[in-house]
Chain A
Amino acid sequence: MQPEKQKTSLIRRVLQSISEAVLIPFLAIVTAVLIGGLIIKVVGGDPFVAYKALLQGAFGSKKAWSETAIWSTPYIFAGLAVALAFRGGLFNIGAEGQLAFGAVFSALIGYALPEWLGFDLPTYIHLPLAILAGALAGGIWAGIVGALKAYTGGHEVINTIMMNYIALNMTSFLVGGVMKDKNPLNVISRTPLIAESARISPIFTGLRIHWGFALALVMAFVVWWLLNKTTLGFEIRTVGLNPDAAKYAGINVKRVIIITMLFSGILAGLAGAIEVTGLNYRHELGFSSGYGYDAIAIALLGKSHPLGVVLASFLFAAMRNGATRMQFMTQLPVDLISMIQALILLFVAADAIVRYIYRIKVKGERVVLTRGWGG
């Protein structure tokens, strides 16, 4: 009797948690989409046509799928960056700047290394170097903030905001100056194309989806593994939950803070590096239009869990990608997508509201996502 009961309750609990995990976000998205549809209707559009076009644009063909995956790639990296920092109790608003820095240095190694060396490199050396340069640039950029936090107590929120401005400013300076494509036909601020040997190849011929997307998924797994299966991950989570307790437990909090920011920056830097090596083959000013800020929303939407981040990235990517077709079919402004995204985030993250609307009872513990400004 006893084990039997335990078994059924276990199954029920598992079922329950699955339905919880799926149901709430599903209802949240439905609610957001309904409100979005209503807005479309009110401004005189046809929500059926609009959403149909949105879905077509995101998933209507192989090409659409490929483009959605391309959109999701930087989202996954940057989302993981912010999520990892959240888990360590740090708020990395600076993914935008780290991403830009990653892109610049990846492009630099991509086009300039063969010139410096005077000979061409094989792909298996050149490409990893280019990606690594971007990852390290992002990592160091964020690591500085981590070190400042650890040793002087300088607040990471201010410092990442400031480092954002500095990074974007310096990026403009470099890409508009010394790193600018010297080709006389080029008039805008962008680097030369990177060498063939520094490019990530597409997965399928004819589609733009590249192996960087696969790398993003791998990194999501790596982050999950790091957080849940390693001592360091345990330390990061402990510091994230309670730095004082972590200190008494003998964890070197300073070291953990620096490492967390470093890894976070590496992930953000990778987002930039992969955009350069996998897609654009150069860095052009203005390309990173707000990934860093979208990444905050994505990390929150994914509840700072790597799998959640991947799913949230897909959702955002599909909406951004499908928006083009929606606009083509209906001439609705793209800003509508931002509004629906905000509503989805609102309803998914604020599941209390969805529970309130649909009268679903609260089960289980509240998950602590962020700790405000930290101590």
Chain B
Amino acid sequence: MKKLYFVMALVIIASMMLTACGAPAAPVATEAPAATEAPAMTEAPVAATEAPVATEAPSTDCTSPDVFCVGVVTDVGKVDDKSFNQSAWEGVQKSKDDGVADIIQYIETTDAKDYAKNISQFGDAGYDVIVTVGFGLGEATAAAAALYPDVRFIGVDQFQAADVAGVTGLNFPEDNAGFLVGALAAQMSKSAHIGGVFATDLVPPVWRFGEGYRAGALYINPNIKIDVVYHNDVGFDKTFTDPEWAANAANAMVDGGADVIFAGGGKTGNGAVVAAAQRGIYAIGVDTDQYFTLPEAAPRILSSAMKLIVPGVATLIASAKDGSIKDGNFMGDAGYAPFHDLDGEVSAEVKAKMEEIAAGLLDGSIKTNVAPVKP
């Protein structure tokens, strides 16, 4: 009788999960779990003592030279953050689709103190390339490069002041991308009033996007009104995950008369993009072409300030495989995304001007004059 309750409880939870998950879940016989799960407890501890750490790879042996393995260690954050961690992972996935990488795997960091440990999971397993995402992992990456001399490290957003053997930093001129969309916003605004909603200026890429935007808008129209808000009023842990705040900030700007809004900074920024789209004004996304990642807002997304992490990572992995990769910095591409649905609303003049500015930024005749970090 008492066992019956227990099994019933398990079955109920199982069926809840099954219905919630729908298709992807492998069908599980409802009675089976209780019976099959029980040995897990008795067996697992024994197994733990006999197996030395990291002698086995998930499926194939990464220590073999024939198998090209790529691992990603995220910054504190999730691999599905619709932002830079996800982009880095997608770059690695792309390299697998391209046939470059054989085995790909990620580890999400939950706390900064785990950086070294998480990298060593891949290092010990004999991975060939380890992608570490975010400046915060810079020191841990350099230290790991000394520890695993055979491994190629790719540090996304990690500027290399001096070359470290085995490490390639992948950086982006975010200020150029911000400048471009700022110029675009200034040209597209009818009220000469634009807005920007950002997570926190303490994170350099966010700062460069934001100030680049300001500079770009002023480049087109020195008298334009630019509202810029940062979500600095909460702790660092919350500033990137607050879409509701950003939606309110964007709405306040629209109330004030802004008719183009650029938003940057993880999930917080997404909230402002979606809110701007809801109000029917132009929204500009960030990092990737958000026309594809924010379908809710897609019809009103004018463009996105892109830092092309995905192709950047994939390119570096390919060059790591053929051996042409170099230590030091690799500058990835940054730019603005196509206009998609709103292409018809952007005049030929504006398009020509945008290309002119992009070319000017590239050859250095136009400078954003944005400090790399908030002074």
Chain A contact residues, CB within 8 Å of chain B: 30, 33-35, 37-39, 41-44, 47-48, 51-52, 55-57, 59-61, 63-64, 67, 70-71, 100, 164-165, 168-169, 171-172, 176, 185, 187-189, 275, 279-280, 284-290, 320-321, 323-325, 327-331, 333-334, 356-359
Chain A residue nearest in CB terms to B158: A187
Q: A358 to B372, alpha carbons, bound, how many Å? A: 62
Q: A32 to B76, alpha carbons, bound, how many Å? A: 27
Chain B residue numbers with a CB within 8 Å of A176 are 202, 374
Partner of B53, one of A48, A64, A320: A64
Partner of A43, one of B21, B52, B125: B21
Partner of A289, one of B14, B159, B200, B237: B237
Partner of B13, one of A38, A164, A168, A287: A38
Q: A275 to B114, alpha carbons, bound, how many Å? A: 13
| Sampled A-B contacts (25; CB under 8 Å) | A34-B10, A34-B34, A39-B17, A41-B28, A41-B37, A42-B25, A42-B28, A51-B40, A52-B43, A55-B44, A100-B235, A168-B234, A168-B236, A187-B135, A284-B112, A287-B113, A288-B237, A289-B111, A325-B53, A327-B106, A327-B107, A328-B105, A328-B107, A328-B121, A357-B6
Cβ A188 vs Cβ B112 within 8 A: no
Cβ B110 vs Cβ A60 within 8 A: no
B143 interface residue (CB < 8 Å to A): no
Q: A168-B235, A328-B107 are in contact. Are A47 and B10 (CB under 8 A)?
A: no
Q: A166 to B138, alpha carbons, bound, how many Å? A: 29
Q: A165 to B232, alpha carbons, bound, how many Å? A: 11
Q: A39-B17, A334-B110, A357-B9 are in contact. Are A290 and B237 (CB under 8 A)?
A: yes
Cβ A188 vs Cβ B105 within 8 A: no
Cβ A30 vs Cβ B41 within 8 A: yes
Q: A323 to B38, alpha carbons, bound, how many Å? A: 21
Q: Report B278-299 CB contacts with A as 1/0, cut-off 8 Å.
A: 0000000000000000000000
Of all A-B residue pairs in the complex, the 6 with the closest CB atoms, nearest first, are A168-B235, A55-B48, A285-B236, A176-B202, A286-B236, A187-B204
Q: Report B57-88 CB contacts with A as 1/0, cut-off 8 Å.
A: 01000000000000000001000000000000
Cβ A52 vs Cβ B48 within 8 A: yes
Chain B residue numbers with a CB within 8 Å of A42 are 14, 17-18, 21, 25, 28
Chain B residue nearest in CB terms to A38: B33
B93 interface residue (CB < 8 Å to A): no
Q: A38-B13, A56-B53, A358-B2 are in contact. Are A331 and B106 (CB under 8 A)?
A: yes
Q: A63 to B114, alpha carbons, bound, how many Å? A: 12
Q: Report B35-56 CB contacts with A as 1/0, cut-off 8 Å.
A: 0111011011101100111000
Chain A residue numbers with a CB within 8 Å of B45 are 55
Q: Contact size class for B?
A: 35 or more
Q: A38 to B11, alpha carbons, bound, how many Å? A: 9
Cβ B202 vs Cβ A61 within 8 A: no
Chain A residue numbers with a CB within 8 Å of B17 are 38-39, 42-43
Q: A47 to B40, alpha carbons, bound, how many Å? A: 7
Chain A residue numbers with a CB within 8 Å of B351 are none
**Nearest chain A CB to B137's CB is how many angstroms away?**
11
Chain A residue nearest in CB terms to B73: A324
Chain A residue numbers with a CB within 8 Å of B37 are 34, 37-38, 41, 47
Q: A67 to B118, alpha carbons, bound, how many Å? A: 11
**Nearest chain B CB to A307's CB is how many angstroms away?**
23
B117 interface residue (CB < 8 Å to A): yes
Q: A168 to B234, alpha carbons, bound, how many Å? A: 7
Chain A residue nearest in CB terms to B159: A187
Q: A86 to B216, alpha carbons, bound, how many Å? A: 55
Partner of A327, one of B10, B33, B108: B108
Q: A59 to B309, alpha carbons, bound, how many Å? A: 36
B373 interface residue (CB < 8 Å to A): yes
Q: A47-B37, A60-B51 are in contact. Are A286 and B107 (CB under 8 A)?
A: no
Chain A residue nearest in CB terms to B11: A38
Chain A residue numbers with a CB within 8 Å of B97 are none
Q: A42 to B200, alpha carbons, bound, how many Å? A: 39
B362 interface residue (CB < 8 Å to A): no
Chain B contact residues, CB within 8 Å of chain A: 2, 5-6, 9-10, 13-14, 17-18, 21, 24-26, 28, 33-34, 36-38, 40-41, 43-45, 47-48, 51-53, 58, 76, 105-108, 110-114, 117-118, 121-122, 125, 135-136, 159, 161, 200, 202-204, 232-237, 372-374
Cβ A357 vs Cβ B202 within 8 A: no
Cβ A38 vs Cβ B10 within 8 A: yes
Q: A324 to B125, alpha carbons, bound, how many Å? A: 14
Q: A188 to B237, alpha carbons, bound, how many Å? A: 14
Chain A residue numbers with a CB within 8 Å of B374 are 176
Chain B residue numbers with a CB within 8 Å of A172 are 200, 202, 232, 235-236
Chain B residue nearest in CB terms to A58: B48
Chain B residue numbers with a CB within 8 Å of A71 are 111, 113
Chain A residue numbers with a CB within 8 Å of B135 are 187-188
Chain B residue numbers with a CB within 8 Å of A37 are 33, 37, 40
Residue among B5, B14, B33, B106 with the most chain A CB within 10 A?
B33
Chain B residue numbers with a CB within 8 Å of A328 are 58, 105, 107, 121-122, 125
Cβ B41 vs Cβ A33 within 8 A: yes
Cβ B51 vs Cβ A52 within 8 A: yes
- 17 other contacts beyond A38-B33, A172-B232, A289-B76, with CB at 8 A cut-off? A34-B41, A39-B13, A42-B14, A52-B51, A61-B52, A165-B235, A168-B235, A172-B200, A187-B372, A275-B113, A286-B76, A286-B236, A289-B110, A324-B118, A327-B108, A331-B105, A334-B108
Q: A34-B10, A48-B40, A60-B53 are in contact. Are A188 and B203 (CB under 8 A)?
A: yes
Q: A193 to B100, alpha carbons, bound, how many Å? A: 40
Q: A42 to B58, alpha carbons, bound, how many Å? A: 20
Partner of B40, one of A33, A57, A61, A171: A33
Cβ A43 vs Cβ B44 within 8 A: no
Q: A331 to B202, alpha carbons, bound, how many Å? A: 31
**Nearest chain A CB to B64's CB is how many angstroms away?**
18
Q: A43 to B18, alpha carbons, bound, how many Å? A: 8
Chain B residue nearest in CB terms to A165: B234
Chain B residue numbers with a CB within 8 Å of A358 are 2, 6
**Nearest chain A CB to B190's CB is how many angstroms away?**
36
Chain A residue numbers with a CB within 8 Å of B118 are 324
Chain A residue numbers with a CB within 8 Å of B200 are 172
Partner of B44, one of A52, A320, A327: A52
Partner of B373, one of A47, A187, A275, A333: A187
Chain B residue numbers with a CB within 8 Å of A187 are 135, 159, 204, 372-373
Q: A280 to B28, alpha carbons, bound, how many Å? A: 45
